[in-house]
A and B are shown apart, each in its own frame.
Chain A
Amino acid sequence: MTNGTKGGPEILENLKMELRRGCLIVAVLAQLRIEQYGYTLRKALAEDGLAIDEGTLYPLLRRLETQGLLVSQWREEDKRNKRFYRLSPAGEQILNQLLEEWQNINASLNKILQEASL
């Protein structure tokens, strides 16, 4: 039997990335219940253990805005133009549904893991 470890780290990285991708969207939406601009959002996510690079965050924010989940506005703060984001009413609804779904998945996963460990 092969142990299937050929390219193991790469597979693990890809799976971790897939797992993170969905979680990041929920995290971003949750963080944006309070208005923030890109850099402070990135800092807040990193402080909570979900570091995200600039090249990933900004296109994601654009996509969420295009989908109507976020609203944004360029505003001057500390003599610099910054783009502030916050959750739209539609985004708030979707976030609640996503959180509910996440809790369901989490509960199912815990149940599966408990059954498997028996």
Chain B
Amino acid sequence: MSKVPSQESSRNSTDLIDRYLQAVRFWVPKTHRQEDLLAELGEDLRSQIEDKETELGHPLDQTEMAAILKRCGSPMMVAGRLGPQRHLIGPALFPIYEFVLKMVLLWILVPVFIFIVGPVNLANSGGNWPSAILGTFGDLWSGLFIAAGIVTLVFAIIERTGSHLGSEIKWDPLKLPPVRQEECKPSLLKAVCEFGFGCFGLVWLLLLPQYPFLILGPAAAILKAGPLLHTFYLPIVLLSIVGLLRSAITLAKPQWTWFPVSSQLLNSVFLLVVLHYMIQAIGNVPSAYPFVVLQDAVRDSPKYFKLVAIVNVSILASVAFTWLGVCIAAIIQTWEFLRYLRKRVWGAQQPASLGAQ
């Protein structure tokens, strides 16, 4: 019998299968076998569609293809079956359990400890970093174990009582989300903008010593840079040059997909180091005004004391918020970098592309 599915049908089936596999991928455990199993599942589905077309003698429409996927099972159920054998929590519930566990541990508990418990411990220990870090790690471990235990217990109870039954019924293959284009090359517009703003920022920074009004505005008549700004001016200029080089390399070598993710992370780490030393240095500065001081001409005018104090506190608050922002950015960039690495390593091991048919 001849197998002549039309091009349109082939495109439709590939699209629907890719959407289905994308949904399964979301739930399936992330191991080195993941892509391999998905590739094989995709091939099986394509063969089923091809067989059905041969049997019916016409290309399948979307509803007929959806029926095949529906018979195969909801993405979550299929992912559960594809994963390793489980005893406490069965395959049907395991993907949701894994998802909830990750959400609770990685996206709720860890940030809470980093941004709330950690700073509180640091404040309680009177600025003693090693003791605060050790204490936070200790609390974090206990928190992780307790949270994981509670989540596991809840899911084990659901598994035993069978409360999840029925989750298989409500799903429609035709409503699966479109396939995401995950591996985008760095955007040209973004790289150009970064480079443009980087040039502008560097020129602005280099002009600051000669033209302080560029940062202080009219207040430059009574204020000037303090000891900390003098000390950290050079590292900030260097960081700016490195950032500019980063944008230039991204523009010149768009095929280096590894470069933006890794260099962005490195940039954030260097910035964090500079900010850390800056914050640490505040306590060692003999002057009460570390960032800006009064010009010599008005140094003894009491009416400007309040102004210089407000400006210094504002800069300190900006530095602290920048530190917090860069910390969050570094965590997100680390996550993106690890995702990129995992994709590279597992992608290299995968023998067949999912969509290449």
Chain A residues near B (Cβ < 8 Å): 37-40, 42-43, 53-56, 58-59, 62, 74, 79-83
| A58 adjacent to B43 (CB under 8 Å) | no
CA distance A80 to B356 in the complex (A): 8
CA distance A79 to B40 in the complex (A): 15
Chain B residues near A (Cβ < 8 Å): 33, 36-37, 39-41, 43-48, 51, 72-73, 77-78, 80-84, 91, 351-353, 356-357
| A59 adjacent to B48 (CB under 8 Å) | no
Given contacts A80-B357, A81-B353, A81-B356, contact A58 B40 (CB under 8 A): yes
| A54 adjacent to B41 (CB under 8 Å) | yes
Given contacts A38-B43, A59-B82, A81-B43, contact A53 B353 (CB under 8 A): no
| A39 adjacent to B47 (CB under 8 Å) | yes
| A74 adjacent to B352 (CB under 8 Å) | yes
CA distance A72 to B40 in the complex (A): 12
Residues in chain A near residue B82, CB distance under 8 A: 55, 58-59
Q: Could you tell me the dominant secondary structure of chain B's interface residues?
A: helix
Residues in chain B near residue A81, CB distance under 8 A: 39, 43, 351-353, 356-357
Quote the shortest CB–CB distance from B143 to chain A (angstroms).
Answer: 34
Residues in chain B near residue A38, CB distance under 8 A: 40, 43-44
28 A-B pairs with C-beta separation under 8 A: A37-B43, A38-B40, A38-B44, A39-B43, A39-B47, A40-B47, A42-B44, A54-B44, A54-B45, A54-B78, A55-B77, A55-B78, A55-B80, A55-B91, A56-B81, A58-B40, A59-B37, A59-B82, A59-B83, A62-B33, A80-B43, A81-B43, A81-B351, A81-B352, A83-B36, A83-B39, A83-B40, A83-B351
Quote the shortest CB–CB distance from A97 to chain B (angstroms).
Answer: 24
Residues in chain B near residue A39, CB distance under 8 A: 43-44, 47-48
Give 3 nearest A-B pairs by CB, closest first.
Answer: A55-B81, A81-B352, A39-B47
Q: Which residue of the partner chain A has the closest CB to B85?
A: A59
Residues in chain B near residue A79, CB distance under 8 A: 357
Residues in chain B near residue A56, CB distance under 8 A: 81
